[in-house]
Chains A and B, each alone.
Chain A
């Protein structure tokens, strides 16, 4: 317990880093996922911008990348990370990698959520002369908003999970903190403090997500 009190400054710093990593990856990966997910949805056969080659490429990309365990993905995309971020280690390299992984995971979730929008309402919008861009913003996204919010809530947990391995590439956050001061020092109190905080994070976000989704669905 004393050790935890002594470590409090590091603990809060790690908490801040986790929030930073998860927040930024949610933003970047979430946006990327929305774009790729829309791409998948719009280009699939029978959809408003049906395009077989584009759909095929996106589909294979998502199917290939999504199942790779994150820790392996992290190592595999090192060259790309270095090219884009300038370095393969540290929080920013971590953010890039997580955002990339999250983008492909989220893309499938977005696509599935958009598929819940009945084709009929899209047809109704087309029948009054709405074009694809208008349909995306006035039909697809608003009609799928409830499930989309739940999808983003779901991916948040995955982001917290991925951010915990940042310690392996010289990044910070609660995962690195627990590893460094808890596990390596055989101090379960420190480990459990990190675990507890992560549980609280996830619970709070899940609660907010559920509420927002309910509001969007008006239930």
Chain B
């Protein structure tokens, strides 16, 4: 059996911006990135501001030209296509933006109709499709309104309706909820979930907010300085991040992992050794772990902790202060390591 062609595949893609000031070094916004996104995925890309997320997503629909590598959409390399040939490709890729980017000179309905006009669809056809899309995003009553008469959440829903009007297989969302309040963010994320489930649209979600990934994504890649430093199923990365930068993102939403200042406080308060244990309910038996620790008479105290749920699967972290002689503790920790991930805090 051959694996199905990924919907989007980047192979060793780089993007170097020439220096804006003479003498300054060039900016490598994307540094040899390879990534493969299957049809139906909701793929989250997270990273701090300046990590290269926006650049990466704009390479996918070639709004920005890569300086090296291949960009395959449905198996076809689009990286070097001339502008004219890119236009039909872009019709198959919807995009939504942090600032919504609606045309203020057009009504909601005509904004949604815009891609259909570009695609050369008949007027009657456009009208039907626009009504369908506005229905889907729950804005049928706003068809005649102008964007500046809408709230942020409504604007983004129009953005989504516009992006999906031409029935693309792929939706790019660049910080689509970053300008919205938490309530509205939640609504928009739920809508995007429906886009994925009901239309089967593959979504690439760019964000610097981990809770967006937590609610929406099935897979995640963590970007730092133009590179992907970690990737995998959302549950795996959240419950057991491998890189320091990933762990920092995870700690912004995952309850139970002490932040750096909190660790300082714990350090000051407890004389013993401090370790953090990861628990994934499906693989780690808590009773067994605590059994190993208490067997040699190590005194332990839970000093920090919490349980989370990602995609219906719980996981958690407990931070313990251990007192006893070092040799005994090391031996016990070795046995615990066979059961779960142990991070000692020094």
Contacts and interface: CB of A to CB of B under 8 A. Distances in A.
Interface of A: 118, 120-121, 123-131, 134, 138-139, 142-143, 145, 216, 218
Interface residues of B, number: 31
Given A123-B97, A124-B97, A129 B115 contact: yes
Contacts of B88: 129
Contacts of B146: 218
Given A130-B87, A143-B104, 19 more contacts: A118-B99, A121-B104, A124-B95, A124-B97, A124-B101, A124-B102, A125-B118, A127-B63, A127-B90, A127-B93, A127-B94, A128-B118, A129-B91, A129-B118, A129-B119, A131-B87, A139-B103, A216-B105, A218-B146
Nearest to A48: B83
Contact of A131 (B84, B105, B166): B84
Given A120-B97, A121-B101, A128 B106 contact: no
B114 interface: yes
Given A128-B115, A134-B118, A121 B103 contact: yes
Nearest to A128: B115
A58 B115 CA distance: 33
A134 B105 CA distance: 15
B86 interface: yes
A130 B95 contact: no
A131 B148 CA distance: 26
Given A123-B63, A126-B63, A128-B114, A142 B90 contact: no
B115 A142 contact: no
Interface string B67-109: 0000000000000000110111111011101010111111000
Interface of B: 61, 63, 83-84, 86-91, 93-95, 97, 99, 101-106, 114-115, 117-119, 146, 148, 162, 166, 172
A121 B106 CA distance: 12
A121 B91 CA distance: 16
B97 A128 contact: no
Contact of B90 (A118, A129, A138, A143): A129
Given A120-B97, A123-B97, A218-B146, A128 B103 contact: no
B61 A121 contact: no
Contacts of A216: 105
Closest 5 CB pairs of A and B: A129-B87, A128-B115, A142-B105, A124-B101, A120-B101
Contact of A129 (B86, B101, B106): B86
Contacts of A128: 90-91, 94-95, 114-115, 118, 162, 166
A134 B90 CA distance: 15
Q: Considering residues A134, A145, A216, which has the most beta carbons from chain B within 10 angstroms of its beta carbon?
A: A134
B102 A126 contact: no
Nearest to A146: B105
Contacts of B61: 127
Contacts of A121: 101-104
12 contacts: A120-B97, A121-B102, A124-B97, A125-B114, A126-B90, A128-B114, A129-B86, A129-B88, A129-B119, A142-B105, A143-B103, A218-B146
Given A142-B103, A142-B105, A127 B114 contact: no
